């Protein structure tokens, strides 16, 4: 009987230690998420389009990001370049930028956006657009049907070399 009580005591002690470790790990993860894993304008651009602004002279004019626990969210980042060298322009052009204006098909897919309209309707500059999921059954639609549907996930990067400004926007639903 004494052995059973001793075994129960050890088991309870082990259970308390395990619960303490789990709670401690959870607290550490919350702290790390708020500090180390916090998105930055540089990391958001790198993760969405694999573009690095390492050798660019710029400042961030706007950085608004909203993430929800279920994975949905959106971000708007406006970069203002102090100087754009030819090497910077060549680097960005290497990503396959398309000339503005944004096509009507792509504008129809972007139902939700907070990009200032003067950049969306601009004829001066270039852009990258990537669409993810589209409302409806993607696999069963042909190209024409897909182009008329609203995108649930998309990313757009607009750059105007004359105004020395770039806008990154993504929407994920």
Give the pLDDT confidence of 18-48 residue by residue, as tens digits: 999 999 998 888 777 666 667 888 888 888 8
- 77 with 153, same domain? yes
Q: What is the pLDDT of residues 90-130, one digit of tens each?
A: 898 898 888 888 877 777 767 656 677 777 777 778 888 88
Say yes or no to pLDDT of 52 above 60: yes
- 26 with 102, same domain? no
Give the structural domain span for 164.
40-172
- 70 with 1, same domain? no
Q: Tell me which residue has tokens 């290497």.
A: 94
- 57 with 32, same domain? no
- 28 with 54, same domain? no
- 44 with 128, same domain? yes
- 148 with 121, same domain? yes
- 9 with 60, same domain? no
- 70 with 87, same domain? yes
- 22 with 92, same domain? no
Nearby residues of 126 by Cβ (< 8 Å), 6 or more positions away: 92, 93, 97, 98, 99, 100, 158, 159, 160, 161
Choose between 134 and 128: higher pLDDT.
128
- 44 with 27, same domain? no
Q: Give how many domains the chain has, as a whole number.
A: 2
Of the chain, the percentage scoring pLDDT greater than 70 comes to 78
Q: Which two tokens stand for residue 148?
A: 């008329």
Least confident of 31-40, 79-88, 140-149: 140-149
- 88 with 7, same domain? no
Say yes or no to pLDDT of 3 above 60: yes
């Amino acid at each position: 009987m004494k052995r059973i009580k001793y075994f129960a005591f050890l088991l309870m002690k082990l259970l308390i230690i395990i619960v303490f470790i789990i709670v401690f790990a959870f607290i550490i993860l919350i702290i790390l998420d708020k500090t180390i894993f916090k998105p930055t304008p540089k990391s958001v651009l790198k993760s969405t389009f694999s573009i690095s602004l390492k050798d660019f002279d710029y400042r961030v004019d706007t950085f608004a990001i909203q993430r929800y626990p279920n994975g949905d969210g959106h971000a708007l980042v406006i970069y203002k370049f102090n100087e754009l060298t030819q090497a910077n322009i060549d680097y960005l052009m290497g990503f396959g930028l398309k000339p503005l204006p944004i096509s009507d098909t792509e504008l129809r897919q972007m139902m939700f956006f907070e990009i200032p309209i003067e950049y969306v309707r601009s004829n001066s500059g270039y852009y990258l657009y990537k669409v993810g999921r589209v409302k409806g059954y993607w696999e069963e639609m042909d190209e024409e049907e897909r182009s008329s549907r609203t995108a649930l996930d998309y990313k757009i990067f607009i750059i105007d070399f004359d105004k020395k400004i770039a806008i990154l926007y993504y929407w994920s639903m």
